[in-house]
Structure 1
């Protein structure tokens, strides 16, 4: 079933090269936030429900491949092609820590208690850095046989999930530092997401979106789409999921029935990353075209900058970044 209202996204400009990853914070007392990774090397922080630019984190000397915000949205993490992962004060925009690697860092994530940061890199290693003792050597997890693309903590902070170019998804026990589950895929995973309740792992690979139990890595269900996919996101209430990829389109599917609900073009290049906001009212996408776009989950609902008139879809200001530098 397709909505009779026209989906009109808010366009967040400011980046000068492809946007390759994005992350929302959790809900905070003052709303929620959105951080984006871009090949221009300048990750940006925005107000999550409007896309309004807050600031740019200046300091990387190469493309930024991965980003994360901690649970309180007080810290930002970035992974970059300059062989470093950095931690930033998300309130002031100041660099707090820089962790050197021997190869390109592709992914970062904060532990649920914000005391640690996880990195995944082309070293084929996962590393956990203690943010209270940043001078200490990291805890290292080895086993992947190719570059790691994405990594994340489980909701309890006791396990890690990772995917790599070796066509595997792996689960690791933090206490024992051992791999405890492994999933072999037909091709390398391009996206990885943990559900809001921590029970479902969403994996994109080739033209498929597959959902797995986080406790067993047993497949729960899978959908085949008409294009190569790079990213997917499951709504917080698990009613729908969205995905995007090589054909510039955004797709929305019913999670229970796997029925396609919507598909539309908005970007002018492949869609590299998609994520639902923590309240589920909107979702964001980042593209090869250098923009982020915010889309309404329920088209026609008054929310954020959307001022809707029935039958005409959403209006509202373009969430244009007013500059490329500034304190966050």
Structure 2
């Protein structure tokens, strides 16, 4: 048995599983979709990313596909959307395509590039295939409905036939159904001799053969089956060598070879077969990776196979030389969701997707020898108390913890409310009250935790929560003086609250047309700034609760974080477009061009106490903490 080995260094950039990948038609670019909600483009020759990650999906990216001319990329995912991207500019083309009401698992272009088909959830627990006009981005008629399970699909090379396979919840008959694309009517079913769930389906380049791979839940039922399209009959028995659940199948460009990716915890990563004879001809194997491979693809010239899996790394394989060439690239870093300067400006704390809180020395740019691993999940927010003696941080698994910011030891927590992920945390001006915003489904509450006046003098106490929003609370902040709290919610509203009376101060501040991701008071407490998924920043008079001028625009996509400079004259924002922006707080005009450097969303921004340095934390697809000279433009320090 021959073993195909690594060709060149793998690509690392996703910080969670690579679930789909596709080569551009000319073979120079590879697109990958990840469980980290991002899409990445890679230069195949240099093995380097092309620009920053394509951010926009709000859930796992399940499938990616290039248009036949290579100019457009289609993606879909758990957020129930299909998105089109301009490959050259790496920007979205129009709004997301919506119609599915649950995750979209597969997307494909028609051979002429005018139509995109997507397979995913529909009404009443059914599954459906939608067809979309690429130019107008509108649906072409009604979807094909009443499909048996999670839909995988493929166009025939002539574009006239669509093949669908699924993983039905109540049936494991392993059927692949053929459809007439023009009439949307079924042409017949391809049934295997023994049952299994179809996880992937592909046409051969000549359109005469269909391959389907999958499992019915165990190794003994893992299958790769070939069918003759004209006769609708299997081409012999299932292929030998399938000893682990199959997640993806792909034909080589000449149609002679079939590749399938598998669960490497039980076997090697992927296998190759000769299509004509069904003979098992080789395996793609690495000794240093164990996990699930989700995706496999051939390059257009057929000389390279790419695979992606649970470690977030893309590997290339040379089927001719079969020699190892390089080790996996190190440096996969988790997303940073929050950053905060200590009041003395000497230290930055960061919290991220890996569940760790880290301290960094601002002068040396190196981590302080202290890292807290939070077993309760990703750290969504970190904040110093005003006197700098305490650090509070929260996870999206319902817990808040408080540490001594100097000695790093535990002070309080976990402070938790069952089944309510905590999205944001803030200290009161006296540092003795911690407010937490809960992000659970339809939760909309803020909890207040009262710390003892001195360390070790007792446990924190709490009272009933404030029901502040009709949906999850994404951000909370205290006024620099007094007992006023501002909150931003998934419902698009900003609200002010009197903490002592537990009553709202007037009506909600409305204007955002999407969820509010960040809220903050100006240092003098007279102004509130908010940033939202509608791509705008808005300023509000904290006393009259009226908007100050028009919305501030500039980011391409959601605004994830906003912060005032210590003197209140400048507003900084970080966006899902990977940029930082500085604004004059009075005129609301930009002070600089967009500041680039991150390769993924900018999740959090913070000014140093002297206002000279700006810290930014990169989200999924980036994972870096960057310091910028805010007084010069800004530039990287």
TM-score by length of 1: 0.60
Deviation at 1:45, TM superposition (A): 2.1
Question: 1:211 aligned to 2:627?
Answer: yes
**Could you tell me whether the CA contact under 8 Å between 2:434 and 2:448 is conserved in 1?**
yes
Structure 2: gaps (5+ residues):
1-368, 372-406, 453-458
Partner in structure 2 of residue 129 of structure 1? 540
Instruction: Please state if 1:38 is matched with 2:443.
Output: no
- Structure 1's 138 and 178: CA in aligned 2 closer, same or farther, altered over 3 A? closer
Q: Does 2:520 match 1:109?
A: yes
Any idea what SS the aligned residue of 1:178 has? coil
Larger RCO (CA under 8 A, 6+ residues apart): 1
Cα distance, 1:137 vs structure 2: 5.8
SS in 2 for 1:204: strand
Structure-2 separation of matches of 1:166 and 1:78: 24
- State how far apart, in whole Å, the 2-side matches of 1:76 and 1:146 are: 27
1:70 aligns with 2:482: no
Partners in 1 of 2:617 and 2:438 — Cα distance?
20
Following superposition, the deviation at residue 23 of structure 1 comes to 2.0
Q: CA offsets, 1:31-61, max 9 Å, x none?
A: 4332222213212222356643255221310
Kept in 2: contact 1:32–1:47 (CA 8 A):
yes
Q: Which residue of 1 aligns with 2:23?
A: none
SS at match of 2:568: coil
Correspondence list, 1:140-159, <5 A: 140-159=551-570
Deviation of the 1:90 alpha carbon: 1.7
User: How far apart are residue 65 of structure 1 and its match?
Assistant: 0.6
Residue 219 (structure 1) shift: 2.0
Question: 1:46–1:55: 8 Å Cα contact kept in structure 2?
Answer: no
d(CA) in 1 for partners of 2:370 and 2:484?
39
Aligned partner of 1:232 in structure 2 is none
* 1:110-141 CA distance string (max 9 Å, x none): 11121111110111111111122224565421
Distance 2:519 2:553 in 1: 16
Aligned partner of 2:599 among 165, 168, 186: 186
Q: For residues 162 and 52 of structure 1, what CA distance do their matches in structure 2 show?
A: 34
Larger radius of gyration: 2
Larger deviation, residues 44-53 vs 119-128:
44-53
Give unmatched runs, 5+ long, in structure 1: 221-328
With normalisation by structure 2, the TM-score equals 0.32
- For residue 103 of structure 1, report the CA deviation from its aligned partner: 1.3
Cα distance in 2 for residues equivalent to 1:200 and 1:48: 31
1:261 aligned partner? none
| Aligned positions, number | 216
CA distance in 1, matches of 2:487, 2:408: 35
Q: Is contact 1:47-1:54 (8 Å) kept?
A: no
Alignment counterpart, residue 99 of structure 1, candidates 497, 504, 509? 509
Following TM superposition, by how much is the alpha carbon of 1:156 offset from its aligned partner in structure 2, in angstroms?
1.0
State how far apart, in whole Å, the 2-side matches of 1:193 and 1:48 are: 25
The answer (yes or no) to whether the contact 2:517–2:532 under 8 Å persists in 1 is yes
Runs of 4+ in 1 over 4 A off after TM superposition: 5-9, 48-51, 135-139
Contact 1:120 1:151 in 2 (8 A): yes
Q: 1-side partners of 2:451 and 2:555: how far apart?
A: 34
Aligned to 1:295: none
Any residues of structure 2 matched to 1:1-328 within 5 Å, and which? 7-8=409-410, 10-14=413-417, 16-26=419-429, 28=430, 31-39=431-439, 40-47=443-450, 51-54=460-463, 56-97=465-506, 98-100=508-510, 101-135=512-546, 138-181=549-592, 182-184=594-596, 185-205=598-618, 206-216=622-632, 217-220=634-637
